[in-house]
Structure 1
């Protein structure tokens, strides 16, 4: 125990919160009880890429946790169709009730039966938590009522009338619909104690904004930034290369609606410039990837022109950053210097390639990275629009407040891409502002600098460096978010030979089957060598080709299984999620989700398969978690306070 006299200043402050022996003792009893409760359930999701409907559904059903609880609780008392109906009611209470109200003949009976079932399910889901924790999750309108129902037993004879009276009154006062909605949302919150998002909310899919709005309303969430997230974070900061990249990707996937309609960014200057500059250019290398057959030929043509215009601007802007930051070691990406504009060829790594597209009306071959006057005007207007988009800034502020490059949580290392390594298993290093960094220190430094890029004062060297670092995190070889040595964007657009498109993955991705390498990483991040895991996304697991998401004998779990439709042909799945409860670590694989409408009307759920990765012989309690360590320290402090009271060093109030 720490010397009491050295702690008196702190203990006097603590005594203001616990001014007597009885109050301090009560809190110790309360905390010790909490420490012995089962550990809360953690839910891990990654690489959502704007696919909001399957994401929201997986969030609502807790990757199948709610369905399992219904099965455990009602296995002998409900038919299968009734269980499906109850699950759908919990997932989508508002929409499901609207349908039921229209067709149900005896609505009062429906309300009564389902209120009883939902209360029982809520009791079951809340059994591992304290009353105070459950109380915090209850909606204000029904807080008292739900609490009474959760802690009264219908089996106790003299309480039956009381319990029944509450339910009858809910129905008679025409509040049954609102009550069912409220308690369903409480159940959704109770089945998952904490949600971890392992990056790539943005790009490819239609509505990343809905994903972020959903996360902003979630009761407990953290985010590990993905490379596509940091790109948008840089764009919101006003970093020009990030803005150009974000626009290029949105044009590539014909997803400009997110830019213009959702974030209110004015694309007219870009569209006007593209139409004037590339009016006679078919821009055949820039035809967007469109699955929607309703998009007209004229619209495709306009998007292709905008796509090419912003791509050329991007290559020029990237050249500026590369020349400004020699420590990024990206001079080999200065490809516009290598073009022979007379012969329409480019020399790469000693080989000459014919260009598929050689119309470069804005490139000055004597100074290829110089923006034309018109290009400069377009990008300046775009910077202003990105920085002044209220909704975008709100979303990016949320990513900064809830996010980080990596997180250690309950002996797990959560990171989107990789821990950058060399072939010899040593940590890859990078010189930043004159000092060498590697491993954990490198990732910490990159995060700190990136935050300066968003939060520092305008027109300062710190802000500019931070913005440049965000672009580097998107595309640089030492970036843990990117995890490759190159991003061959130019080659993919302009060169037919696929050999030039090659992007070499960081050695981490070859070495991640090596348990010794994992242990080295655990040591670097001060994690337990025997009980820890690395949880990644970023690289889709090709399960249809036999690849397993479980690496290094269970020490690494790769949970990118293809939430994004763009990857589902490659993976054969529609995503992995991970559930970590007090008993086990469970990997859940999901089949494609049709639509929320089907889920509501047909009571269809995502078909999911659960594989237990690790089963704990001894159930984990709160004491075994990071939060438990904090509570244990609070108990020690309170015990010191009790001793100070009893020795008369501090007087009770």
Structure 2
């Protein structure tokens, strides 16, 4: 048996972890066993847009998989009302316990029954995991006892009294409530082995910062960036144009919760400037969109409108500066401030001249329209410091970089938020970067590197400036894989009445993605087997009410943007999609609006939604069939080489 000189150093390093033949053999046995476990359940979500309550509820119920586990565990032993009671105990254990015990005569008996039922449900999921993995997910404080109960030998009569004594002790020491909570949280974790977020965590809803906290604490998650994520990432890097966009959107939807409460970004400099500069301006074109149930005074609406106009003008100037210094972006049509005829109150767009709906531009110098006024520059400087100095924002954005990217290939699925830019003939659209043409996967890889460069490069460097501009381009550029439209018509929608100018157009991809040939071409481009693989996409809401289907290209492409955001629900008629990929099937779940935790707890049967089975597997998938399994097999090969090295005397046991 030969061990090469190149191989030996690596094996010696591995021997520090496995210092004996027995240790290496045990590791191989454990890994071989793990390969034969059923594949864990993957969940896919997209376009959450700050809707923390809805997103949290979907995670807690596992898109209905927890209710299914309850049905499997109890069958006809529990009626529908009892199954719902048990499900809500798992979703919201602390609230449910408090509600039930207000009217429960024998609290101890109820808690004992709850613990026993939760153990049965937990066993439905535990078969998918090794004991070591379950131990990692358990609350450390209760792990030893929970493990005893979870692997209880019910058929062994001699141990029956032992297990009953555990329950007795839990009740007697008044620890039952804590154990119920620990079990419920364990079940929630086991229900989802890996969470895939297909972009757009931010904007429109009030809870993006809460969603990010939840994702950071989640046991297994990856994120494919959306355009609304990249603009926040650019803002965190210090891009002034991205900062202006983030603030303008927050003001447009009258929601500063994430900015002010989540990230401690002070709006006072902008508010003071807006009141001073636009105090006599009604700012009618900038009245914010008020969500149903949102309480806001007329005075607050007026201030928000003034602030929105102030930051919109600043945004248009900052974007104009980028377009001028980056001609390769081919966005000269976005230069509109220099096309305004202030005397006539018109603007020239293309070959037409159009009346302006708002002609008050006190900070726009006709001779230098894209220059910030001294007052605007001071506001921008203060805002930039607020973003770059926000500890919580930087923590969240670093997580997006560490767990995220432009796309991911995992277990035969290609995931990305927006599109792969294409020409009408189905070819990949080329884009020139630093004098070299990129298209398809190469372009997506290149712009991801630029985004990372924009955040991580040294402050003040040319590399950082180039990367930050690239992040802004990814937000709104015509060929951006995250945007996928011909333009972002911010100026036209604010200042021009003609609806045809408001249209933003879409890349040819959005027509071609209905065709199986185009989907197969994209899969091949990213190294995915087109016969077995599929694309999982977000970004554009599926208008179910208009008859649109999330299933495209003969099932090769699935769009899972179903309207988590309240702003889209009128179009979609839904409250979001989730995709569930288990060992047995691929299912698309269409969710109904989540009303409240109280409604759920009080018996309102919060449906997980309509479940559509897209594909069933004749032979259940095992870990062996997954990307994780391939990694484990590679580990086994290396460990076998270590065993051989021990037995041949190349390495001594310790």
Report the TM range for the smaller structure's normalisation.
over 0.9
Deviation at 1:603, TM superposition (A): 4.9
Describe the SS at the equivalent of 1:129.
Answer: coil
Does structure 1 residue 498 correspond to structure 2 residue 499?
yes
Deviation at 1:652, TM superposition (A): 3.2
Q: 1:40 to 1:645 in 2, by over 3 A?
A: same
Q: Distance in 2 between matches of 1:618 and 1:260?
A: 51
Q: Deviations over 1:361-397 (max 9, x none)?
A: 1111111111111111111111111111122122112
TM alignment of 1:212-611, pairs within 5 A: 212-291=212-291, 292=293, 294-611=295-612
Deviation at 1:3, TM superposition (A): 6.8
Q: Distance in 2 between matches of 1:625 and 1:30?
A: 17
Deviation at 1:463, TM superposition (A): 0.8
Q: Deviations over 1:120-152 (max 9, x none)?
A: 111111112111111111111110001000111
| Contact persistence 1:561–1:575 (CA under 8 A) | yes
Deviation at 1:187, TM superposition (A): 0.3
Q: Distance in 2 between matches of 1:280 and 1:649?
A: 85
Q: Which residue of 1 aligns with 2:653?
A: 652
Q: Which residue of 1 aligns with 2:59?
A: 59
Deviating more after overlay: 381-390 vs 1-10: 1-10
Describe the SS at the equivalent of 2:642.
Answer: helix
Describe the SS at the equivalent of 1:288.
Answer: coil
Which runs of at least 4 in structure 1 moved beyond 6 Å after TM superposition?
A: none
Q: 1:280 to 1:116 in 2, by over 3 A?
A: same
Deviation at 1:215, TM superposition (A): 1.0
Describe the SS at the equivalent of 2:8.
Answer: helix
Describe the SS at the equivalent of 2:88.
Answer: helix
Q: Distance in 2 between matches of 1:52 and 1:650?
A: 54
| Contact persistence 2:119–2:183 (CA under 8 A) | yes
Does structure 1 residue 201 correspond to structure 2 residue 201?
yes
Deviating more after overlay: 332-341 vs 640-649: 640-649
Q: Which residue of 2 aligns with 1:148?
A: 148
Mark the runs of 5 or more structure 2 residues left unpaired by the alignment.
none
Describe the SS at the equivalent of 2:102.
Answer: helix
Deviation at 1:2, TM superposition (A): 9.3
Deviating more after overlay: 557-566 vs 386-395: 386-395
Q: Distance in 2 between matches of 1:151 and 1:294?
A: 52
Q: Which residue of 2 aligns with 1:21?
A: 21
Deviation at 1:526, TM superposition (A): 1.0
Deviation at 1:537, TM superposition (A): 0.7
| Contact persistence 2:589–2:608 (CA under 8 A) | no
Q: Deviations over 1:546-576 (max 9, x none)?
A: 1110111111010001000100110111111
Q: Deviations over 1:31-78 (max 9, x none)?
A: 111111111110001101011111000000010000111011112111
Describe the SS at the equivalent of 1:75.
Answer: helix
TM-score by length of 1: 0.98
Describe the SS at the equivalent of 1:381.
Answer: helix
Deviating more after overlay: 443-452 vs 20-29: 20-29
Q: Distance in 1 between matches of 2:6 and 2:381?
A: 58
Describe the SS at the equivalent of 1:353.
Answer: strand
Q: Which residue of 2 aligns with 1:128?
A: 128
Describe the SS at the equivalent of 1:426.
Answer: coil
Deviation at 1:466, TM superposition (A): 1.0
Q: Distance in 2 between matches of 1:181 and 1:257?
A: 29
Q: 1:72 to 1:379 in 2, by over 3 A?
A: same
Q: Distance in 1 between matches of 2:209 and 2:604?
A: 26
Q: Distance in 1 between matches of 2:445 and 2:256?
A: 34
Q: Which residue of 1 aligns with 2:630?
A: 629
Deviation at 1:4, TM superposition (A): 5.1
Q: Distance in 2 between matches of 1:274 and 1:226?
A: 30
Deviation at 1:28, TM superposition (A): 1.5
Q: Distance in 1 between matches of 2:160 and 2:76?
A: 23
Q: Distance in 2 between matches of 1:336 and 1:262?
A: 34
Q: 1:284 to 1:14 in 2, by over 3 A?
A: same
Deviation at 1:298, TM superposition (A): 1.0
| Contact persistence 1:85–1:603 (CA under 8 A) | no
Describe the SS at the equivalent of 1:140.
Answer: coil
Q: Distance in 1 between matches of 2:91 and 2:60?
A: 5
Q: Distance in 2 between matches of 1:382 and 1:650?
A: 60
Q: Distance in 2 between matches of 1:567 and 1:51?
A: 12
Q: 1:2 to 1:238 in 2, by over 3 A?
A: farther
TM-score by length of 2: 0.98
Q: Distance in 2 between matches of 1:102 and 1:533?
A: 50
Q: Which residue of 2 aligns with 1:36?
A: 36
Describe the SS at the equivalent of 1:76.
Answer: helix
Deviation at 1:606, TM superposition (A): 3.5
Q: Which residue of 2 aligns with 1:189?
A: 189
| Contact persistence 1:202–1:208 (CA under 8 A) | yes
Deviation at 1:601, TM superposition (A): 2.9
Q: Distance in 2 between matches of 1:94 and 1:316?
A: 51
Deviation at 1:94, TM superposition (A): 1.1
Q: Deviations over 1:464-520 (max 9, x none)?
A: 111111100000122111111100011111111110011111111101122222221
Mark the runs of 5 or more structure 1 residues left unpaired by the alignment.
none
Q: 1:240 to 1:6 in 2, by over 3 A?
A: closer
| Contact persistence 2:85–2:603 (CA under 8 A) | no
Q: 1:293 to 1:84 in 2, by over 3 A?
A: closer
| Contact persistence 1:242–1:471 (CA under 8 A) | yes
Describe the SS at the equivalent of 2:142.
Answer: helix
Describe the SS at the equivalent of 1:347.
Answer: strand
| Contact persistence 2:584–2:621 (CA under 8 A) | yes
| Contact persistence 1:152–1:163 (CA under 8 A) | yes
| Contact persistence 2:207–2:257 (CA under 8 A) | no
Q: 1:376 to 1:178 in 2, by over 3 A?
A: same
Q: Deviations over 1:97-126 (max 9, x none)?
A: 111222211101101111100011111111
| Contact persistence 1:96–1:601 (CA under 8 A) | no
| Contact persistence 1:88–1:603 (CA under 8 A) | no
Q: CA RMSD in A?
A: 1.4
Deviation at 1:153, TM superposition (A): 2.5
Deviation at 1:651, TM superposition (A): 3.4
